[in-house]
Amino acid sequence: MKVPLLDLKEQYSAIRQEVESSLKKVIENQDFILGAEVTDLEKEVAAYCGTKYGVGVASGTDALILSLKALGIGSGDEVITSPFTFFATAESISVVGAKPVFVDIDPKTYNIDPLLIKAKITKKTKAIMPIHLYGQCADMDPIMNIAEKYGLKVIEDNAQGIGATYKGKKSGSMGDIGALSFFPSKNLGAFGDAGMVITNNEKLAKEIKVLRVHGSSSRYVHSEIGMNSRLDNLQAAVLRIKLRYLDRWLEARRGIADFYGQRLKGLPVVTPHVGAYNVHTYHQYTLRVKSDQGKLMKHLLDSGIERRTYYPISLHLQECYKSLAYRSGDMPESENAAKEVFSIPVFPEMTLEQKRYVADIISGFFC
Ligand SMILES: Cc1ncc(COP(=O)(O)O)c(C=O)c1O
């Protein structure tokens, strides 16, 4: 049996008619850039995430870059973040001319360890950028307390976290600003690149709206240097349909996680740890194996099961960050996780046979 990490064709076949009729309307209107669908999506996503404003942009990476720019962060500034994340998190900080300062992770949740943040704060620190990795919120209360005490901004990298909650609050709604990615493989995915900034701060929302259209608040008048980062109406039309299904899909993901949790109990694999304060959305279902990780991963692949390590190189050891002068051993938890974790298939349309097969192949490996 073949089991992919996710199956977007299955998802599409369930919503094909709704999506096609919505896309047809946009095409017939020939209204492609920042149209009515975008405006409606911005309102709907903001309402879903519990924020006042949503501003559609071209990708999750742009959402991070524009958030940093809107907060006035740039050359000479430092931003604290985790090295155990997709590259775009740190890249966005570098792109605006600031320096990413890495803080190691909590080995249980794989999110930034709040206890290690204070030691990295300097006069140049302007913000903290926690990531809600794999669909589980970082421990936000201590992060917000540190930010308040030291006068720092908080940008939530919520690319993987839509729908997750922390003490009942939605991911992306707790900091000054949150960045969402609608990359096709995300829990809410478009038919191409797309993203959104969410915030409760009207001034920041207005600033992002200006920055996403070349720093222009009225046609051909440019008050600042921005960029072209508009969300297009076709993507918004798709996302509006999918948003209606999101909670059902997240529930299905949690059901699969429960199934795996039961079936993998007692085996020498670490299943996801869910913080007492968190509702996880399982953007990834990530296992950890102390030894033989490579052998188990090969066994899965040989059995037709797709699996992948998110992320195999801790960012402080990436070649492009050589100039930051980190060394192997500086972020031990992140480095160990990079060697030991891998994610297995989890998607709402998974059949019972597929779930059973994945669990059986893993338990068979240890027998
Ligand atoms: C944690 C994280 N941050 C940022 C991004 C960037 O999002 P995008 O691919 O939409 O630019 C991603 C997406 O892969 C991500 O997983």
CATH, residue 187: 3.40.640.10
Domain boundary (190, 223, 240) is at 240
Q: Does pTM surpass 0.85?
A: yes
Ligand 1 and 85: CB distance under 6 A:
yes
How far, in Å, CA of 333 to CA of 205, rounded?
36
Residue 3 belongs to some domain of the structure: no
Per-residue model confidence (pLDDT) at position 19 = 98
Tell whether 30 and 156 lie within a shared domain: yes
Domain boundary (188, 210, 240) is at 240
Domain range for residue 275?
Answer: 245-366
Tell whether 255 and 218 lie within a shared domain: no
Tell whether 266 and 340 lie within a shared domain: yes
Tell whether 87 and 15 lie within a shared domain: yes
Ligand 1 pocket: which of 183, 187, 343 to mutate (most atoms within 8 A of CB): 183
Q: Can you tell me which atom of ligand 1 is nearest the CA of 194? A: 10
Residue 301 belongs to some domain of the structure: yes
Q: What is the mean pLDDT of residues 134-151?
A: 98
- Among protein residues, the one with the nearest Cα to ligand 1's atom 10 is 60
Ligand 1 and 159: CB distance under 6 A:
yes
Instruction: Assess whether pLDDT exceeds 80 at residue 22.
Output: yes
Chain mean pLDDT for the chain:
97
Instruction: Assess whether pLDDT exceeds 80 at residue 291.
Output: no
Domain boundary (219, 240, 261) is at 240
Q: What is the mean pLDDT of residues 266-287?
A: 97
Tell whether 70 and 219 lie within a shared domain: yes
Ligand 1 pocket: which of 6, 57, 61 to mutate (most atoms within 8 A of CB): 61
Tell whether 60 and 157 lie within a shared domain: yes
Per-residue model confidence (pLDDT) at position 293 = 81
Ligand 1 geometric centre to CA of 268 (Å):
31
Ligand 1 and 160: CB distance under 6 A:
yes
Tell whether 184 and 253 lie within a shared domain: no
Tell whether 253 and 296 lie within a shared domain: yes
Tell whether 132 and 205 lie within a shared domain: yes
Instruction: Assess whether pLDDT exceeds 90 at residue 367.
Output: no
Per-residue model confidence (pLDDT) at position 259 = 98
How far, in Å, CA of 5 to CA of 28, rounded?
35
Q: What is the mean pLDDT of residues 193-202?
A: 98
Tell whether 236 and 250 lie within a shared domain: no
Tell whether 259 and 322 lie within a shared domain: yes
Per-residue model confidence (pLDDT) at position 283 = 98
Ligand 1 geometric centre to CA of 173 (Å):
18
Ligand 1 and 102: CB distance under 6 A:
no
Q: What is the mean pLDDT of residues 98-105?
A: 98
Q: What is the mean pLDDT of residues 35-57?
A: 97
Ligand 1 and 83: CB distance under 6 A:
no
Residue 2 belongs to some domain of the structure: no
Per-residue model confidence (pLDDT) at position 90 = 98
What CATH number did the domain enclosing 323 receive? Answer: 3.90.1150.10
Ligand 1 geometric centre to CA of 135 (Å):
12
How far, in Å, CA of 342 to CA of 160, rounded?
16
Ligand 1 and 173: CB distance under 6 A:
no
Ligand 1 and 131: CB distance under 6 A:
yes
Ligand 1 geometric centre to CA of 60 (Å):
5
Tell whether 67 and 196 lie within a shared domain: yes
Q: Can you tell me which atom of ligand 1 is nearest the CA of 195? A: 10
Ligand 1 geometric centre to CA of 266 (Å):
34
Count of domains forming the chain: 2
Residue 297 belongs to some domain of the structure: yes
Ligand 1 and 183: CB distance under 6 A:
yes
Per-residue model confidence (pLDDT) at position 39 = 98
